[in-house]
Amino acid sequence: MSEDVPVIETKRLTKQYGDVRAVDSLDLAIESGDVYGFLGPNGAGKSTTIGLLLDYLRPTGGTIRVFGKDPQRAPVEIHNRTGVLPDRFGLYDGRSARQHVSFVAETKQVDDDPEALLERVGLANAVDDNAGEFSKGMEQRLALAMALVGEPDLLVLDEPFNGLDPHGVRRVREIVHEENNRGATVFFSSHVLGQVELVCDRIGVLHRGRLVAEGTVDELRDAAGADDDAVMEDVFVELTDAPIEAGGESR
Ligand SMILES: Nc1ncnc2c1ncn2[C@@H]1O[C@H](COP(=O)(O)OP(=O)(O)OP(=O)(O)O)[C@@H](O)[C@H]1O
Protein backbone atom coordinates (compact mmCIF):
# COMPACT_ATOMS: atom_id res chain seq x y z
CA MET A 1 0.00 0.00 0.00
CA SER A 2 1.39 3.40 -0.82
CA GLU A 3 -0.36 6.53 0.32
CA ASP A 4 0.66 10.09 -0.30
CA VAL A 5 -1.17 11.25 2.82
CA PRO A 6 -0.48 9.99 6.34
CA VAL A 7 -2.53 6.90 7.18
CA ILE A 8 -3.50 8.57 10.46
CA GLU A 9 -3.38 12.30 11.01
CA THR A 10 -4.81 14.27 13.90
CA LYS A 11 -4.55 18.00 14.47
CA ARG A 12 -5.22 19.52 17.86
CA LEU A 13 -7.44 16.54 18.63
CA THR A 14 -9.24 17.02 21.93
CA LYS A 15 -11.75 15.00 23.93
CA GLN A 16 -13.19 16.46 27.11
CA TYR A 17 -15.23 14.43 29.60
CA GLY A 18 -16.63 16.92 32.10
CA ASP A 19 -13.57 18.20 33.97
CA VAL A 20 -11.27 15.58 32.47
CA ARG A 21 -9.44 16.36 29.25
CA ALA A 22 -8.74 12.78 28.14
CA VAL A 23 -7.05 13.89 24.90
CA ASP A 24 -5.50 17.33 24.73
CA SER A 25 -4.52 19.05 21.44
CA LEU A 26 -3.00 15.88 20.03
CA ASP A 27 -1.06 16.12 16.75
CA LEU A 28 -0.23 12.74 15.21
CA ALA A 29 1.03 11.79 11.76
CA ILE A 30 1.44 8.08 11.13
CA GLU A 31 2.89 7.36 7.72
CA SER A 32 2.13 4.38 5.51
CA GLY A 33 4.26 1.41 6.56
CA ASP A 34 4.99 2.69 10.07
CA VAL A 35 4.82 0.49 13.13
CA TYR A 36 3.88 3.13 15.67
CA GLY A 37 3.74 2.46 19.39
CA PHE A 38 1.41 4.65 21.38
CA LEU A 39 2.79 4.53 24.87
CA GLY A 40 1.48 5.97 28.09
CA PRO A 41 0.54 5.21 31.68
CA ASN A 42 -2.94 4.07 32.68
CA GLY A 43 -5.45 6.81 32.03
CA ALA A 44 -3.16 8.71 29.64
CA GLY A 45 -5.82 8.80 26.92
CA LYS A 46 -4.65 6.00 24.60
CA SER A 47 -7.96 4.14 24.32
CA THR A 48 -9.87 7.40 23.98
CA THR A 49 -7.63 8.40 21.06
CA ILE A 50 -8.22 5.03 19.38
CA GLY A 51 -11.98 5.40 19.92
CA LEU A 52 -11.83 8.80 18.23
CA LEU A 53 -9.84 7.48 15.25
CA LEU A 54 -12.47 4.79 14.64
CA ASP A 55 -15.49 7.03 15.25
CA TYR A 56 -16.55 5.07 18.33
CA LEU A 57 -16.25 8.43 20.11
CA ARG A 58 -16.68 11.97 18.84
CA PRO A 59 -14.06 14.67 19.47
CA THR A 60 -14.79 17.90 21.27
CA GLY A 61 -12.10 19.67 19.23
CA GLY A 62 -9.59 19.27 16.43
CA THR A 63 -9.57 17.13 13.31
CA ILE A 64 -8.92 13.50 12.39
CA ARG A 65 -8.08 11.92 9.05
CA VAL A 66 -7.65 8.20 8.51
CA PHE A 67 -6.55 7.33 4.95
CA GLY A 68 -7.19 11.02 4.33
CA LYS A 69 -10.87 10.70 5.32
CA ASP A 70 -12.86 12.09 8.19
CA PRO A 71 -14.01 9.08 10.31
CA GLN A 72 -17.37 10.74 10.91
CA ARG A 73 -17.99 10.96 7.16
CA ALA A 74 -16.40 7.74 5.93
CA PRO A 75 -16.66 5.21 8.78
CA VAL A 76 -17.49 2.22 6.56
CA GLU A 77 -14.66 2.85 4.14
CA ILE A 78 -12.21 3.23 7.03
CA HIS A 79 -13.47 0.13 8.84
CA ASN A 80 -13.26 -1.96 5.66
CA ARG A 81 -9.53 -1.15 5.42
CA THR A 82 -8.79 -1.43 9.14
CA GLY A 83 -8.37 -4.37 11.51
CA VAL A 84 -9.16 -3.47 15.10
CA LEU A 85 -8.29 -5.16 18.36
CA PRO A 86 -10.32 -3.09 20.85
CA ASP A 87 -9.42 -2.67 24.53
CA ARG A 88 -12.74 -4.19 25.53
CA PHE A 89 -14.59 -6.67 23.44
CA GLY A 90 -17.30 -9.24 23.96
CA LEU A 91 -17.32 -12.78 22.59
CA TYR A 92 -20.48 -14.80 22.02
CA ASP A 93 -20.97 -17.65 24.46
CA GLY A 94 -22.00 -20.75 22.54
CA ARG A 95 -20.19 -19.68 19.37
CA SER A 96 -16.89 -21.21 18.32
CA ALA A 97 -13.67 -19.37 17.50
CA ARG A 98 -14.24 -20.31 13.86
CA GLN A 99 -17.71 -18.74 13.90
CA HIS A 100 -16.31 -15.50 15.34
CA VAL A 101 -13.70 -15.19 12.59
CA SER A 102 -16.21 -16.24 9.88
CA PHE A 103 -18.57 -13.55 11.06
CA VAL A 104 -15.93 -10.84 10.53
CA ALA A 105 -15.06 -12.30 7.12
CA GLU A 106 -18.72 -12.18 6.10
CA THR A 107 -19.05 -8.60 7.35
CA LYS A 108 -15.96 -7.55 5.40
CA GLN A 109 -17.03 -9.68 2.41
CA VAL A 110 -13.71 -11.53 2.18
CA ASP A 111 -13.05 -15.26 1.95
CA ASP A 112 -10.20 -15.66 4.47
CA ASP A 113 -9.82 -19.15 5.91
CA PRO A 114 -10.76 -18.90 9.61
CA GLU A 115 -8.71 -21.98 10.44
CA ALA A 116 -5.54 -20.49 8.96
CA LEU A 117 -6.00 -17.26 10.90
CA LEU A 118 -6.68 -19.13 14.14
CA GLU A 119 -3.59 -21.23 13.57
CA ARG A 120 -1.57 -18.05 13.11
CA VAL A 121 -2.56 -16.77 16.53
CA GLY A 122 -1.92 -20.13 18.20
CA LEU A 123 -5.51 -21.36 18.47
CA ALA A 124 -5.22 -24.30 16.06
CA ASN A 125 -6.40 -26.67 18.78
CA ALA A 126 -9.41 -24.58 19.75
CA VAL A 127 -10.94 -23.74 16.36
CA ASP A 128 -14.29 -25.35 17.16
CA ASP A 129 -14.33 -24.72 20.91
CA ASN A 130 -16.85 -22.42 22.57
CA ALA A 131 -15.29 -18.95 22.77
CA GLY A 132 -17.44 -18.28 25.84
CA GLU A 133 -15.21 -20.68 27.77
CA PHE A 134 -11.89 -19.23 26.60
CA SER A 135 -9.23 -17.99 29.02
CA LYS A 136 -8.24 -14.33 28.93
CA GLY A 137 -5.21 -15.06 26.75
CA MET A 138 -7.24 -17.20 24.36
CA GLU A 139 -9.83 -14.41 24.07
CA GLN A 140 -7.05 -11.98 23.22
CA ARG A 141 -5.68 -14.33 20.56
CA LEU A 142 -9.14 -14.77 19.03
CA ALA A 143 -9.68 -11.00 18.97
CA LEU A 144 -6.36 -10.62 17.16
CA ALA A 145 -7.37 -13.25 14.58
CA MET A 146 -10.56 -11.24 14.02
CA ALA A 147 -8.49 -8.07 13.51
CA LEU A 148 -6.35 -9.80 10.87
CA VAL A 149 -9.30 -10.75 8.65
CA GLY A 150 -9.13 -9.30 5.14
CA GLU A 151 -5.45 -8.28 5.14
CA PRO A 152 -6.22 -4.78 6.43
CA ASP A 153 -4.14 -1.80 5.30
CA LEU A 154 -4.16 -0.52 8.89
CA LEU A 155 -4.07 -2.48 12.13
CA VAL A 156 -5.17 -0.65 15.26
CA LEU A 157 -4.33 -2.77 18.29
CA ASP A 158 -5.24 -1.57 21.77
CA GLU A 159 -2.95 -3.27 24.30
CA PRO A 160 -2.36 -6.35 22.12
CA PHE A 161 -0.11 -8.00 24.73
CA ASN A 162 -2.74 -7.95 27.48
CA GLY A 163 -3.26 -11.29 29.16
CA LEU A 164 -0.79 -13.18 26.97
CA ASP A 165 1.81 -15.69 28.10
CA PRO A 166 5.38 -15.32 26.75
CA HIS A 167 4.56 -17.51 23.73
CA GLY A 168 1.58 -15.30 22.95
CA VAL A 169 3.63 -12.14 23.38
CA ARG A 170 6.24 -13.44 20.96
CA ARG A 171 3.55 -14.51 18.49
CA VAL A 172 2.00 -11.03 18.53
CA ARG A 173 5.41 -9.49 17.86
CA GLU A 174 5.93 -11.87 14.93
CA ILE A 175 2.48 -11.12 13.56
CA VAL A 176 3.11 -7.36 13.75
CA HIS A 177 6.32 -7.88 11.75
CA GLU A 178 4.59 -10.14 9.22
CA GLU A 179 1.72 -7.72 8.75
CA ASN A 180 4.11 -4.81 8.37
CA ASN A 181 6.17 -6.75 5.81
CA ARG A 182 2.95 -7.38 3.89
CA GLY A 183 2.54 -3.59 3.74
CA ALA A 184 0.21 -2.86 6.64
CA THR A 185 0.61 0.17 8.85
CA VAL A 186 0.38 -0.77 12.52
CA PHE A 187 -0.73 1.53 15.32
CA PHE A 188 -0.78 -0.01 18.76
CA SER A 189 -1.09 1.17 22.30
CA SER A 190 0.78 -0.38 25.16
CA HIS A 191 2.40 0.11 28.48
CA VAL A 192 4.50 -3.00 27.99
CA LEU A 193 7.63 -1.03 27.33
CA GLY A 194 9.96 -3.83 26.32
CA GLN A 195 7.55 -4.97 23.62
CA VAL A 196 7.14 -1.49 22.22
CA GLU A 197 10.89 -1.12 22.03
CA LEU A 198 11.26 -4.41 20.16
CA VAL A 199 8.50 -3.85 17.63
CA CYS A 200 8.13 -0.15 16.81
CA ASP A 201 9.80 2.15 14.31
CA ARG A 202 8.44 5.16 16.12
CA ILE A 203 6.94 5.75 19.51
CA GLY A 204 4.67 8.49 20.79
CA VAL A 205 4.50 8.97 24.54
CA LEU A 206 1.16 10.20 25.81
CA HIS A 207 0.80 11.68 29.27
CA ARG A 208 -2.38 13.28 30.59
CA GLY A 209 -3.78 13.44 27.08
CA ARG A 210 -0.75 15.21 25.61
CA LEU A 211 2.03 13.91 23.41
CA VAL A 212 5.11 14.55 25.58
CA ALA A 213 7.68 12.92 23.30
CA GLU A 214 7.86 11.23 19.94
CA GLY A 215 10.57 9.50 17.96
CA THR A 216 12.68 6.39 17.77
CA VAL A 217 13.75 4.62 20.95
CA ASP A 218 17.11 6.44 20.80
CA GLU A 219 15.43 9.81 20.29
CA LEU A 220 13.22 9.17 23.31
CA ARG A 221 16.26 8.30 25.40
CA ASP A 222 17.74 11.67 24.38
CA ALA A 223 14.48 13.48 25.13
CA ALA A 224 14.46 11.96 28.60
CA GLY A 225 18.11 12.85 29.11
CA ALA A 226 18.78 9.16 29.67
CA ASP A 227 21.96 7.19 28.95
CA ASP A 228 22.32 5.32 25.65
CA ASP A 229 21.85 2.03 27.45
CA ALA A 230 18.93 3.21 29.62
CA VAL A 231 16.09 0.73 29.63
CA MET A 232 12.78 1.95 28.23
CA GLU A 233 11.16 1.76 31.64
CA ASP A 234 13.45 4.49 32.98
CA VAL A 235 12.82 6.61 29.89
CA PHE A 236 9.08 6.13 30.27
CA VAL A 237 9.03 7.07 33.95
CA GLU A 238 11.19 10.12 33.26
CA LEU A 239 8.97 11.33 30.41
CA THR A 240 5.65 10.69 32.09
CA ASP A 241 6.70 11.58 35.59
CA ALA A 242 4.49 8.83 36.91
CA PRO A 243 4.90 5.25 37.98
CA ILE A 244 3.76 2.88 35.24
CA GLU A 245 1.17 1.28 37.42
CA ALA A 246 -0.32 4.60 38.59
CA GLY A 247 -3.55 5.15 36.85
CA GLY A 248 -6.77 6.91 36.21
CA GLU A 249 -5.80 10.14 37.85
CA SER A 250 -7.96 13.07 36.85
CA ARG A 251 -6.51 16.21 35.50
N1 LIG B 1 -16.62 7.66 29.26
C2 LIG B 1 -15.81 8.36 30.05
N3 LIG B 1 -16.32 9.29 30.90
C4 LIG B 1 -15.51 10.02 31.69
N5 LIG B 1 -14.16 9.91 31.71
C6 LIG B 1 -13.60 9.01 30.89
C7 LIG B 1 -14.39 8.19 30.02
N8 LIG B 1 -13.56 7.39 29.32
C9 LIG B 1 -12.30 7.68 29.74
N10 LIG B 1 -12.32 8.66 30.68
C11 LIG B 1 -11.16 9.26 31.33
O12 LIG B 1 -10.28 9.70 30.31
C13 LIG B 1 -8.93 9.48 30.71
C14 LIG B 1 -8.23 8.66 29.63
O15 LIG B 1 -8.75 7.33 29.65
P16 LIG B 1 -8.28 6.23 28.58
O17 LIG B 1 -9.07 5.00 28.85
O18 LIG B 1 -8.31 6.81 27.23
O19 LIG B 1 -6.75 5.99 29.02
P20 LIG B 1 -5.72 4.85 28.58
O21 LIG B 1 -4.44 5.54 28.30
O22 LIG B 1 -6.30 4.01 27.50
O23 LIG B 1 -5.58 4.01 29.93
P24 LIG B 1 -5.28 2.43 30.19
O25 LIG B 1 -3.82 2.22 29.89
O26 LIG B 1 -5.56 2.30 31.65
O27 LIG B 1 -6.22 1.63 29.33
C28 LIG B 1 -8.98 8.83 32.08
O29 LIG B 1 -8.80 9.83 33.06
C30 LIG B 1 -10.37 8.25 32.14
O31 LIG B 1 -10.82 8.19 33.48
Q: State the complex-level ipTM.
A: 0.96
Same-domain status, 74 and 97: no
Q: Which residue has the least CA distance to atom 11 on ligand 1?
A: 22
Query: Per residue in 102-138, pLDDT tens?
Result: 999 999 999 999 999 999 999 999 999 999 999 999 9
For ligand 1, whether the C-beta of 168 sits within 6 Å is no
For ligand 1, whether the C-beta of 248 sits within 6 Å is yes
Residues 63 and 70 sit within 8 Å (Cβ to Cβ): yes
Please give the residue range of the domain that contains residue 100. Answer: 90-151
Does residue 200 have a pLDDT over 80? yes
**pLDDT the model gives residue 251:** 43
CA distances from 146 to 7, 12, 152, 212, 235 (A): 21, 31, 11, 32, 33
Residue 46 lies inside a defined structural domain of this protein: yes
Same-domain status, 103 and 224: no
Residue 163 lies inside a defined structural domain of this protein: yes
Ligand 1 atom with least separation from CA of 87? 27
For ligand 1, whether the C-beta of 20 sits within 6 Å is yes
Residue 249 lies inside a defined structural domain of this protein: no
Query: Per residue in 135-185, pLDDT tens?
Result: 999 999 999 999 999 999 999 999 999 899 999 999 999 999 999 999 999
Q: Quickly state the pLDDT bin for 244 (edges 50, 70, 90).
A: very low
For ligand 1, whether the C-beta of 19 sits within 6 Å is no
Please provide the average confidence, as pLDDT, over all residues in the chain: 90
Number of domains in the chain: 2
For ligand 1, whether the C-beta of 244 sits within 6 Å is no
Mean pLDDT over residues 230-236, rounded? 69
CA distance 207 to 105: 36
Ligand 1 atom with least separation from CA of 50? 18
Residue 41 lies inside a defined structural domain of this protein: yes
Q: Quickly state the pLDDT bin for 4 (edges 50, 70, 90).
A: confident
